[in-house]
Amino acid sequence: MARDTDANKRRAALAALELVPSGVTVGVGTGSTVNLFIDALAAIPARVRSAVSSSQASSARLRAAGIAVVDLNELADLALYVDGADEATAARHLIKGGGGALTCEKIIAAAARRFVCIIDDTKMVTTLGRFPLPIEVIPMARALVARQLTARGGRALWRQGFITDNGNHILDVHDLSIADPVALERELNQIAGVVSVGLFAARPADVLLVGTAQGVQTR
Ligand code: 5RP
């Protein structure tokens, strides 16, 4: 079963490669699906000029593949961003942050003209929220934010022992009702101490590539 999931992730990653124009700087996300994308890119490193990376882990993997990693601040424009997700809907709303890189992922998604999301078919849901929603918080605000989430019906669990690349903590929020992802993202962003919310709804994916045993579905 796990091997099927890996094969479907690989199908989606290879399909994303076909959407990368030659010679561009590509935004690169984080996670096991993106690792397969980086590995595919490693076979043709001259295909891209460079990459903007969402995490230290992806930066290391990109550099090992011979791909230069540049600072987003150096770019006037970013044509494409490729990243995975923990859950996705048909509206291309996402939950991200299982790997804890959600803040940089959100920044790169905001900067990119086109956001291509690559997932296997186990990630497709009708309503977001089966996967606990990751929220990055300033460490001193962790308990305060957790109480605010409890007041909204969520059960916020501290991802203990995990520090983000930005030096912050993650709360994984179970049992939230995510009927309106855009409204909830906006609301949770207002809580003092929240750095970023793993809902990608205000800025959804532009293209969703879903790897299945029968091939890749494009949404
Ligand atoms: C990291 C992410 C990842 O895209 C998400 O967790 C999916 O990971 P994987 O491809 O390993 O299933 O948001 O912060």
As a whole number, mean pLDDT of residues 27-34 equals 98
Contact of 178 with 125, CB cutoff 8 Å: no
Per-residue model confidence (pLDDT) at position 171: 98
Please tell me what DSSP assigns to residue 69: B
Contact of 101 with 170, CB cutoff 8 Å: no
Percentage of the chain with pLDDT > 70?
99
Active site residues: 105
Find tokens 């882990």 and name the residue.
57
Whose C-alpha lies nearest to ligand 1, atom 4?
Answer: 84
Contact of 51 with 72, CB cutoff 8 Å: no
Contact of 180 with 164, CB cutoff 8 Å: no
Whole-angstrom distance, CA of residue 135 vs CA of residue 33 = 21
Which atom number of ligand 1 is nearest to the Cα of residue 102? 14
Contact of 43 with 19, CB cutoff 8 Å: no
Tell how far the Cα of 139 is from the centroid of ligand 1, in angstroms.
Answer: 22
Query: And the tokens for 6?
Result: 């890996």
Q: Is the CB of 10 under 6 A from ligand 1?
A: no
Topology (CATH) of 2-124+203-218: Rossmann fold (3.40.50)
Contact of 34 with 28, CB cutoff 8 Å: yes
Residue 11 scores a pLDDT above 70:
yes
Residue 136 scores a pLDDT above 80:
yes
Label residue 3 by pLDDT band (50, 70, 90). low
Which residue did the predictor score with more confidence, 109 or 45? Answer: 109
Contact of 182 with 201, CB cutoff 8 Å: yes
Tell how far the Cα of 138 is from the centroid of ligand 1, in angstroms.
Answer: 21
Per-residue model confidence (pLDDT) at position 45: 83
Whole-angstrom distance, CA of residue 202 vs CA of residue 115 = 13
DSSP character string of 129-176: -SSPEEEEE-GGGHHHHHHHHHHTT-EEEE-TT---TTS-EEEEEES-
Residue 24 scores a pLDDT above 80:
yes
CB burial of residue 27 (10 Å; 0-12, 13-18, 19+) = buried
101-130 tens-digit pLDDT: 999 999 999 999 999 999 999 999 999 999
Q: What is the pTM of this model?
A: 0.96
As a whole number, mean pLDDT of residues 80-102 equals 98
As a whole number, mean pLDDT of residues 137-151 equals 98
171-219 tens-digit pLDDT: 999 999 899 999 999 999 999 999 999 999 999 999 999 999 999 999 9
Q: What are the structural domain ranges in the chain?
A: 2-124+203-218, 133-198
Per-residue model confidence (pLDDT) at position 1: 46
As a whole number, mean pLDDT of residues 53-65 equals 97
Whole-angstrom distance, CA of residue 210 vs CA of residue 216 = 5
Across all residues in the chain, what is the average pLDDT?
Answer: 97
Task: Name the CATH architecture for the domain at 133-198.
Answer: 2-Layer Sandwich (3.30)
